[in-house]
Structure 1
């Protein structure tokens, strides 16, 4: 009997998780709590005016526009690599939009789900030019800086073991401490996602004295995360991401979205912008959810170019983050 009661209690607890209504909580609060990097230029960092800006910041705004009708209704919660999953699981944040790699273990061991890939990345190395290193294959015996709570050390261990190379790990809990250590040559190299290395390089005392090696030792599909068990919220966040990608493919921009909704005769555009279909209602939103998201931040290309592209200090090329029909990997299911 006790076993049946315990099993029933477990089922009820699990069922409660399954039917958790994050959208209701967000609406009642009037604010989306979005977990972001404490400070990574181009992705999430405060400007000199104290405003949050970046690629991930814009995604949070797009979700707030879709779900709440207002992109300003976001509380940005800085979370480090060690605490990010606990913050999401505990409900302290509704959405994690912080450069996080989608892996099997993270999705099967943790009660969390990735909604998709927002940025295709790969792990690399940054070194001081004075070392004369031109390839990761020259790093055997190096002291390598790592940030705790990431997958970077495991990737290096795999790469170095395969190449029969050795290294000495130098661990840090805070990115600021790590950057300072690398700047002071207390380690020979720092390894992270290439997008992060481009941003970190700009924080060094003399950025031109360091270079990011061309070697890529892993694939790092970065994407937003939500809690498992709430399919409605999962769909809202996932399809906001897809809407931004589809908007680029359909040439829907922030400035032109309203006019296209009123005048476009293209069925995919009309469905995306709410002129046809019940796609918003199917998620508990109104028909203009995607229209608001695009107007708030622009389509994927506008977000990328504004925060990471050629006209920014990072000057990152679209590359594999280009659309599938332009030689990249970016692909979103259609709204239909």
Structure 2
């Protein structure tokens, strides 16, 4: 799908993607992708898994080379040979998979590769102060000296975001930035995005949380099977419309009816407790063919509970039985 000229407004001032294609062997994962990101706006890039969103993002961020097509960034041809080259050009990306160094401190992770120096040595006081300021902007009050491995997943995600915000980038690509965040952390992130938008920064925002899109995006681009299938100049589109464009068919039911679970108990958790007291005396059972939801705020112990059940973390008391066996 070629870029409709009606969607092109001063592309030389922002990002202009034209006809990007990418194949891996016989599999074409991206075909003639064209869109633009104007200065000071958030463009939501939506699609199912495998639609091509990550491929487009990785090309823009310098970690993948396209087979065909071109990109213009700030009025000049743009073809980064590496993520470092993209960062130098003012383009950064926050990946869904955390790319932190667990045995380094929070501040060291925020400034890794560009540690502030003074007199030939790392200026740790300045580094810690700057990192702490960024984290507090996101609502994360942790010591910059703390090792990343001791943080919960949601806090680690905020460290990744703080790292990106210190890059002084003019375009940031967010790949599922709120996947591990609760509503409060998400709203703090949105506040920062709005503030940076007002300063002229642009964003490509990828999310499966479609309810977020109307709140944070200005425009929407929908992908399916490696192609751009729809563009919307407004973000307040009915979720049903977006889902139908993503899957390519009418959606009679957003959620199909579920079959009744079986009568056999498959998983039994009884009085399970954590040594760190992140959860205490938790008991529940799951039947065959059943979906059990575990809900709670960030820090409630949900992740720690399922890690303990899966054997990734120790337990201090209680038991787990699968099909009646410990």
Measured against the shorter chain, the TM-score band is under 0.3
- Greater RCO structure (CA 8 Å; 6+ sep): 1
- Max radius of gyration: which structure? 2
TM-score (norm. length: structure 2):
0.24
- Relative to total residues, which structure has the larger strand share, 1 or 2? 2
TM-score (norm. length: structure 1):
0.23
- Relative to total residues, which structure has the larger helix share, 1 or 2? 1
